[in-house]
Amino acid sequence: MNRPVLSILAAALLVFLLWPHAFAGLFQPLTRNGAPPIYTQTSLLALTLSHLALVAAAVGAASVTAVGLGILVTRPAGRAFLPLARTLANIGQTFPPVAVLALAVPLMGFGRWPTLTALFLYGLLPIFENTLTALGSLPPPVAEAARGTGMTPRQRLIRVELPLALPLILTGIRLSAVISLGTATIGSTVAARTLGEVVIAGLLSSNTAFVVQGGMVVGVLAVLLNAVFQSLERRAARAAGQERLAPIGLS
């Protein structure tokens, strides 16, 4: 999607979140029996910011954990832990987020923490696998050249391996972030403040306008987030001297 279209989407979303009542006429045909066309129980802007904060926290924690595990198991001293690390990264994909929420609520109570746990576990695998692929497929001549200059293993990791691996790692983070953005809506079932609150309110009251509003905001955010990460991937690829980037994940 080209930049002008993305700019229009971002501007339209911002206007809607700041002045949702200006769009009442657009959503009125989706209501029945005099139901309100715009969700007003909580500010849509506040819900959006809370939703993004949850996703950012979960993806940030998942990124640090998954990249750290990826680095560990690609070092000679940590290769024996690869099966265990892969098992840990697969936990989130083995248990659906709804199941994680059901298990977490008795331990953590209602609110943001069960949702953060579910999103964290669900986001580990794509980041871990992309980190593993990126660090494991570095060109041997590059590694040899780094060793030949007298760099220590830590210097090679920080100055050579991670910069070259960064585009593919960012692809994994992008995939995790976009998935988490959509998945976070279920957090409202356990009293987390997300845009799922709008969708659930619409389903409970048979108000299609609310359902469309919640889904529309999440959908536009996903498109914009995906575009931002793609831009970061291209910049990282250029900085690493990679003319082409063949990411694993969403294109």
Cα(59)–Cα(82) distance, rounded to whole angstroms? 22
**The token pair that represents 9 in the structure block:** 């989407």
Helix 3-18 and helix 208-239, axial crossing angle in degrees, nearest 10: 140
Residues 81, 60: contact at Cβ < 8 Å?
no
pLDDT tens-place string over residues 106-135: 888 888 899 999 999 989 999 999 999 998
Helix 162-183 and helix 112-136, axial crossing angle in degrees, nearest 10: 150
Contacts for 25 with CB less than 8 Å, ≥ 6 apart: 37
pLDDT tens-place string over residues 171-220: 999 999 999 999 999 999 888 999 999 999 999 999 999 999 999 999 99
H and E: helices and strands count for the chain: 11, 0
Cα(169)–Cα(129) distance, rounded to whole angstroms? 9
CATH for the stretch 48-239: 1.10.3720.10
pLDDT attached to residue 37: 93
**The token pair that represents 4 in the structure block:** 């002008």
